[in-house]
């Protein structure tokens, strides 16, 4: 169980990076505020998931809503050095621990979050490196100006802080009207 907790602590912080990927270059950036986002949610939008050691981006995630339920999907993936390797438009890295080895940018790594009046609860999060699924809650922290993702295993949990993205690499913006939830782990 302790090993599972240690693995979990790296879910969002290291699962997005792949040291064997060829580093890509950002040819163009998009301002996230130019992309249509729901205004009624503090958690909807594009978020940067930092590497715990270097503080460079590991990935950029979009949090979106469908029928009152919130999901999160990777839209940009970086290597261990902070270089862009994949985007939603052109993705080659796969979640090998998940059945069918889906592309990292084509499935929802968080799903099932519902607003309970205070925070978003009842969600699930999958670790793409192990395929393990954990309970998940989320909320916006004004004091840290961050989206807090709390993964839980039984009574234990860990908070990870995502910062709102101020720029998106070319190919990372997705059409939120046409995105369809894709849950690959149950």
**Distance from C-alpha of 121 to C-alpha of 123, rounded to nearest angstrom:** 6
What pLDDT, on the 0 to 100 scale, is given for residue 186? Answer: 66
Separation of CA 34 from chain center: 20
The angle at the Cα of 168, spanning 60 to 82, to the nearest 5 degrees, equals 55
State the average pLDDT over residues 171-183. 93
Query: Domains, the chain, ranges and CATH?
Result: 2-169 (2.40.128.520)
Predicted TM-score of the model (pTM):
0.79
Is the predicted pLDDT of residue 39 greater than 60, yes or no? no
Q: What is the pLDDT of residues 135-176, one digit of tens each?
A: 999 999 999 989 999 999 988 999 999 999 999 999 999 998
22 or 54, which is more confident:
54
**Distance from C-alpha of 101 to C-alpha of 178, rounded to nearest angstrom:** 23
Instruction: Report the number of secondary-structure helices (H) and strands (E) in the chain.
Output: 2, 11
Q: What is the pLDDT of residues 53-74, one digit of tens each?
A: 888 899 999 999 999 999 999 9
Is the predicted pLDDT of residue 28 greater than 80, yes or no? no
């Amino acid at each position: 169980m302790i090993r599972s907790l240690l693995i979990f602590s790296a879910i969002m912080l290291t699962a997005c990076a792949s040291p064997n990927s060829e580093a890509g270059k950002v040819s163009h950036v998009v301002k996230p505020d130019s992309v249509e986002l729901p205004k009624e949610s503090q958690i909807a939008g594009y978020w940067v998931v930092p590497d715990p050691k270097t503080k460079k981006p590991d990935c950029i995630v979009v949090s979106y809503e469908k029928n009152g339920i919130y999901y999160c999907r990777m839209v940009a993936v970086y290597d261990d050095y902070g270089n862009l390797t994949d985007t939603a438009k052109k993705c080659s890295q796969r979640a090998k621990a998940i059945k069918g080895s889906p592309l990292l940018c084509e499935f929802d790594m968080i799903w099932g979050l519902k607003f309970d009046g205070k925070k978003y609860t009842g969600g699930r999060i999958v670790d793409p490196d192990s395929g393990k699924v954990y309970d998940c809650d989320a909320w916006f922290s004004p004091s840290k100006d961050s989206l807090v993702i709390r993964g839980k295993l039984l009574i234990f949990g860990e908070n990870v802080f995502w910062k709102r993205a101020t720029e998106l690499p070319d190919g990372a913006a997705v059409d939120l009207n046409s995105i369809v939830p894709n849950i690959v782990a149950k």
